[in-house]
Amino acid sequence: MDSRRRCLRQIGQRARTFWRGRGYIVEACFRLICARLSLVVLPLKRLMGLHSLSWSKDNLLFHEVRLATEEEQQQARAIGWAVTKTAAHLPIDARCLAQALAARAMLRRRGIASMMHIGVARPDATSLEAHAWLEAAGIGVTGYPIAPSLRVIGQLHTEGVKRR
């Protein structure tokens, strides 16, 4: 009797994990499409909720970081996985900034604070390389690994606001 209950409990846990993963993928698909459309239509400073885009190393925002729970870390990993995998299969150009915006919206919906970083590098005199990455709950969510040549020019902290 006890082994039957244990088996049913394991099946239930796997089913919940499966459906939760599917939900993350569906939401990631929606958020990536919205982020990409927003990047095309809206000015960047309005999209990010900024009044000015005067970012520099001198005026980076530093916020108090609270310790994340194990559940928040699991959700952040799952969201990062879903956004990265979904972006690779969508027929739109959903690179690092769109991925960071989509994951940021998904994390905010779940009440998890995040920090988006934007960095640039100059590989040679004629080109400029830019990259955006997101971290939350003490882990890298999207845009990792980061090239060591990137220099952070801005950070955007987003408080987690749980929506029902």
Model confidence over 107-129: pLDDT tens digits? 999 999 999 999 999 878 788 88
Contact assessment for residue 116 and residue 144, using Cβ atoms and an 8 Å cutoff: no
Q: Is 164 a member of any domain?
A: no
Q: Is 35 a member of any domain?
A: yes
11 Cα distance to chain centroid: 30
Helix 2-41, helix 70-89: angle, nearest 10: 60
| Tally of domains in the chain | 1
Residue 53 has pLDDT above 60, yes or no: no
Distance CA 120, CA 104 (A): 20
Q: Is 135 left (phi over 0), alpha (psi -120 to 50) or beta?
A: beta
Residue 7 has pLDDT above 70, yes or no: no
Computed from CA positions of residues 87, 88, 91, 95, in that sequence, does the dihedral angle turn out positive or negative? positive
pLDDT of residue 74: 92
Q: Tens of pLDDT along 56-77?
A: 444 444 444 566 789 999 999 9
Residue 131 has pLDDT above 90, yes or no: yes
Instruction: Tell me how many degrees the CA angle 141-76-68 measures, rounded to the nearest 5.
Output: 110
Query: What is the domain extent for residue 19?
Result: 2-158
Q: Is 163 a member of any domain?
A: no
